[in-house]
Amino acid sequence: MKDKDFRIHIKIDGRVYPLNINRDEEERYRKAAKIVEETISSFRKMFHDNDNQDILAMTAFQVALRYTEEQQSRDYSQFVDDIKDIKDDISDFLKEKEKK
Protein backbone atom coordinates (compact mmCIF):
# COMPACT_ATOMS: atom_id res chain seq x y z
CA MET A 1 0.00 0.00 0.00
CA LYS A 2 1.27 3.46 -0.84
CA ASP A 3 1.98 6.08 1.76
CA LYS A 4 -0.51 8.89 2.04
CA ASP A 5 1.76 11.47 0.52
CA PHE A 6 -0.64 14.00 -0.95
CA ARG A 7 -2.57 16.60 1.01
CA ILE A 8 -5.88 17.99 -0.20
CA HIS A 9 -8.50 20.19 1.37
CA ILE A 10 -12.14 19.35 0.87
CA LYS A 11 -14.98 21.65 1.80
CA ILE A 12 -18.14 20.21 3.26
CA ASP A 13 -20.97 22.42 4.47
CA GLY A 14 -18.76 25.47 4.71
CA ARG A 15 -15.95 23.78 6.61
CA VAL A 16 -12.58 22.85 5.20
CA TYR A 17 -11.10 19.46 6.04
CA PRO A 18 -7.46 18.65 5.26
CA LEU A 19 -6.84 15.06 4.22
CA ASN A 20 -3.68 13.11 3.55
CA ILE A 21 -4.37 10.71 0.70
CA ASN A 22 -2.66 8.76 -2.04
CA ARG A 23 -2.27 11.03 -5.03
CA ASP A 24 -4.01 8.58 -7.35
CA GLU A 25 -7.16 8.68 -5.17
CA GLU A 26 -7.65 12.46 -5.36
CA GLU A 27 -10.43 12.34 -7.96
CA ARG A 28 -12.41 9.81 -5.94
CA TYR A 29 -12.15 11.93 -2.78
CA ARG A 30 -13.20 15.09 -4.61
CA LYS A 31 -16.17 13.31 -6.22
CA ALA A 32 -17.25 12.00 -2.81
CA ALA A 33 -17.06 15.50 -1.32
CA LYS A 34 -19.09 16.83 -4.25
CA ILE A 35 -21.79 14.21 -3.70
CA VAL A 36 -22.01 15.12 -0.02
CA GLU A 37 -22.14 18.85 -0.82
CA GLU A 38 -24.88 18.35 -3.42
CA THR A 39 -26.89 16.17 -1.06
CA ILE A 40 -26.60 18.71 1.76
CA SER A 41 -27.67 21.49 -0.60
CA SER A 42 -30.64 19.47 -1.78
CA PHE A 43 -31.81 18.76 1.77
CA ARG A 44 -31.35 22.40 2.78
CA LYS A 45 -33.67 23.43 -0.06
CA MET A 46 -36.28 20.83 0.88
CA PHE A 47 -36.08 21.23 4.66
CA HIS A 48 -34.90 24.79 5.22
CA ASP A 49 -36.32 24.85 8.76
CA ASN A 50 -34.23 21.92 9.99
CA ASP A 51 -31.01 22.47 11.90
CA ASN A 52 -27.54 21.43 10.74
CA GLN A 53 -27.54 18.15 12.66
CA ASP A 54 -30.78 17.04 10.98
CA ILE A 55 -29.47 18.01 7.54
CA LEU A 56 -26.18 16.18 8.09
CA ALA A 57 -27.96 13.12 9.49
CA MET A 58 -30.27 12.97 6.47
CA THR A 59 -27.26 13.42 4.18
CA ALA A 60 -25.37 10.58 5.87
CA PHE A 61 -28.44 8.38 5.56
CA GLN A 62 -28.90 9.23 1.86
CA VAL A 63 -25.26 8.48 1.07
CA ALA A 64 -25.44 5.19 3.03
CA LEU A 65 -28.65 4.27 1.21
CA ARG A 66 -26.99 4.87 -2.18
CA TYR A 67 -24.08 2.72 -1.06
CA THR A 68 -26.34 -0.18 -0.05
CA GLU A 69 -28.27 0.11 -3.32
CA GLU A 70 -25.01 -0.06 -5.25
CA GLN A 71 -23.86 -3.07 -3.25
CA GLN A 72 -27.16 -4.82 -3.88
CA SER A 73 -26.95 -4.04 -7.59
CA ARG A 74 -23.45 -5.50 -7.76
CA ASP A 75 -24.56 -8.60 -5.90
CA TYR A 76 -27.41 -9.07 -8.35
CA SER A 77 -25.17 -8.74 -11.39
CA GLN A 78 -22.81 -11.36 -9.97
CA PHE A 79 -25.80 -13.66 -9.46
CA VAL A 80 -26.81 -13.20 -13.12
CA ASP A 81 -23.25 -13.94 -14.26
CA ASP A 82 -23.19 -17.11 -12.14
CA ILE A 83 -26.48 -18.29 -13.66
CA LYS A 84 -25.15 -17.67 -17.18
CA ASP A 85 -22.05 -19.72 -16.37
CA ILE A 86 -24.18 -22.57 -15.05
CA LYS A 87 -26.40 -22.39 -18.13
CA ASP A 88 -23.34 -22.59 -20.39
CA ASP A 89 -21.99 -25.55 -18.43
CA ILE A 90 -25.31 -27.38 -18.76
CA SER A 91 -25.45 -26.63 -22.50
CA ASP A 92 -21.92 -27.93 -22.96
CA PHE A 93 -22.75 -31.05 -20.97
CA LEU A 94 -25.88 -31.75 -23.02
CA LYS A 95 -24.00 -31.24 -26.30
CA GLU A 96 -21.33 -33.72 -25.19
CA LYS A 97 -24.00 -36.18 -24.12
CA GLU A 98 -25.70 -35.94 -27.54
CA LYS A 99 -22.44 -36.78 -29.27
CA LYS A 100 -22.19 -40.08 -27.40
pTM over 0.85: no
Residue 1 maps to a domain: no
Q: Who's near 11: CB < 8 A, 6+ residues apart? A: 17, 33, 37
pLDDT the model gives residue 3? 64
Q: Note the Cα 9 to chain centre separation in Å.
A: 21
- Quote the number of domains for the chain: 1
With cut-offs at 50, 70 and 90, classify the pLDDT of residue 88: confident
Residue 79 maps to a domain: yes
List pLDDT tens digits, range 13-59.
999 999 999 999 999 999 999 999 999 999 999 988 888 899 999 99
Residue 76 maps to a domain: yes
List pLDDT tens digits, range 53-81.
999 999 999 999 998 888 877 767 777 77
